[in-house]
A and B are shown apart, each in its own frame.
Chain A
């Protein structure tokens, strides 16, 4: 394993994550920082811009197969999607329909819509959503890899689940309304965002994989994300009536079985985990064994 594959995926920047994930020397960036494609809306607000608008897009190889890939930079405005940022993602997904790579990899690290570009941000997220579904409908697998410090929230949490599959580290978080948003909207009685253990139980990788909302739980390293992504190549989910009816039934069963729970740990017990309180401490391999009978994999 090369050095780029080791270390923390979470702590790495957007480019380093990509370099650790793809075959060595294979990545070539499109619209890189030298092109200075920046946000006109941030500039209008006299806010700092980034020369890549917070997302790296390009082409590379994964296990020898051509892929297109995007990586969001959580350190720039929380990876939030502005108009240029979103257009880079949408453009990459459209390019995939012409080039037909083995997959499009989306390394998501984002709070969702960039509030400083409010309306343009939500329109951009909707374009990304339709572009993901368009690519999938034309047979290009799209994989979401969620392992950054921001997790994946807001409209981009929906985008992740528009993909064929989702890979998460246990430290990553995935949802739509984050803890701070819920507490500030509904009050601390609804949710105490300072309760870190509860936040982790609710949005963390282990809970998402147990539900089936994510497909693979991996260690926090580029190498582990790489292995999971390679394993998912060619395992797309068709957008067909039969497939979506199966998913409909699967989601309905979750509400029947888990609809009454008030905490994620209750959901783990209700799903059949014998000792739910032990789950947070287990390494992914041991965790996998402990939840083997309780996981509800997405059809």
Chain B
């Protein structure tokens, strides 16, 4: 699905989202009013400029549009890996972006993330994973590292990793694994506008992603089973 098709499917009543390279910025029209849209496309990697630009847009929504819901669209391979970005302190720019999203939440904005392509590493941490809820379209690719690369790093044979991945959501990339881990709340299927409306209509829930199986605030170690219906196998 192209970005244009995605936006049309999410906002059949119309949208004013513009593309600037790998950045998506604007608003969409939902049943309850305007939704602020900011996001990433084309698998863009996020460097200092893009991180700062995203933070600026989050702050603008908080300042100018109290309570307007925010939809972040994620299709990014991660943070930009370059000497220049490190010299300039990319971790600080991403930390600032995360703090801006936290401010938005604390200021009463509903924050939804929708992964519509890739999601990985620094940009996913600072933008998508800071949302109240993370959803994904079918076919989205969430990953830390593919199994051949992990085999190289850990010196564990690939066949062994593949066998373990059949029982555990921890190792292999893949949308279903992130659903089982409790990171992705649901997979959105057509009609996407109905999925978005349902998510917007839901009252924000307390953050229970780090909670134990009974939904009790997690003491250390409590996150090993994230939801009653989706326990992480404790051993293969």
A-side contacts of B150, CB under 8 Å: 115-116, 118
Q: Tell me which of A44, A131, A162, A248 contacts B59 (CB under 8 A).
A: A248
Whether B154 sits at the interface, judged by CB under 8 Å, is yes
Instruction: Report the nearest A residue to B49, measured CB to CB.
Output: A255
- Which residue of chain B lies nearest to A44 when distances are taken between CB atoms in the complex? B236
Q: Which residues of B contact A176 (CB under 8 A)?
A: 79, 85-86, 90-91, 94, 122
Residue of B nearest to A114 (CB): B144
Contact (Cβ within 8 A) A158 B122: yes
B90 adjacent to A87 (CB under 8 Å): no
A41/B92 contact (C-beta < 8 A), A87-B223, A241-B59 known: no
A119 contacts B169, C-beta separation under 8 Å: yes
Within the assembled complex, what's the spacing in Å between the Cα atoms of A289 and B182? 50
Tell me whether A182 and B122 are in contact (CB under 8 A): no
208-236 of chain B: CB within 8 A of chain A:
209-210, 217-224, 232-236
- Tell which of A89-97, A221-229, A277-285 binds the partner: A89-97
Q: Say whether B205 faces chain A, with CB atoms less than 8 Å apart.
A: no
CB–CB B92/A57 < 8 A: no
From 101 to 125 in chain B, residues with beta carbon under 8 angstroms from any chain A beta carbon are 102-103, 106-107, 121-122, 124-125
Size class of B's contact patch?
35 or more
B156 within 8 Å of A by Cβ?
A: yes
- Residues on A with beta carbons closer than 8 Å to the beta carbon of B145: 115, 118
B83 to chain A: closest CB distance in Å? Answer: 5
Is B11's beta carbon under 8 Å from chain A?
no
Residue contact B92 to A137, C-beta cutoff 8 Å: no
Q: In this complex, what residue of B is CB-closest to A174?
A: B91
**Known contacts A92-B220, A211-B89, A244-B59; A129 and B130 CB within 8 A of each other:** yes
A269 interface residue per 8 A CB criterion: no
Stretch at the interface among B67-75, B170-178, B194-202: B170-178
Q: In whole angstroms, how far apart are the Cα atoms of A207 and B91 in the complex?
A: 14
Q: Are B164 and A244 in contact (CB under 8 A)?
A: no
* Cβ contacts under 8 Å, B220 to chain A: 30-31, 37, 57, 84, 87-88, 90-92
The answer to whether A202 and B87 touch across the interface, beta carbons within 8 angstroms, is yes
The count of residues in chain A whose C-beta lies closer than 8 Å to any C-beta of chain B is 82
A65 in the interface (beta carbon within 8 A):
no
A90 touching B92 in the complex, CB below 8 Å, given contacts A115-B145, A119-B177: no
Encoded as 1 (CB less than 8 Å from any B CB) or 0, chain A from 97 to 134 comes to: 00000000000000001011111111111110111011
Determine whether A161 belongs to the interface, using a CB cutoff of 8 Å to chain B: yes
Please, what's the 1-or-0 string for B150-181, where 1 marks a CB less than 8 Å from any CB in chain A? Answer: 10011010000000100011111100011001
Bound-complex Cα distance A174 to B89 (A): 9
In the assembled complex, how far is the CB of residue A91 from the closest CB belonging to chain B, in whole angstroms? 3
Which of A9-17, A19-27, A256-264 makes up part of the contact surface? A256-264
B221 and A244 form a contact (CB under 8 A)? no
Since A122-B144, A130-B102 are in contact, a sample of 4 more A-B pairs with Cβ atoms closer than 8 Å, ordered by chain A residue number, is: A176-B79, A176-B91, A244-B96, A264-B87
Chain A to chain B contacts (Cβ below 8 Å), 6 pairs: A116-B154, A134-B207, A181-B81, A207-B87, A239-B106, A247-B96
Where the two chains meet, the residues of A that have a C-beta atom closer than 8 Å to any C-beta of B are 30-31, 37, 40-41, 43-45, 47, 57, 83-84, 86-88, 90-92, 94-95, 113, 115-127, 129-131, 133-134, 137, 154-155, 157-162, 174-177, 181-182, 185-186, 190-191, 202-203, 207-208, 211, 213, 239-241, 244-245, 247-248, 251-252, 254-255, 258-259, 261-264, 267
Closest 9 CB pairs of A and B: A161-B95, A91-B220, A157-B91, A118-B144, A126-B129, A88-B220, A40-B234, A176-B91, A133-B102
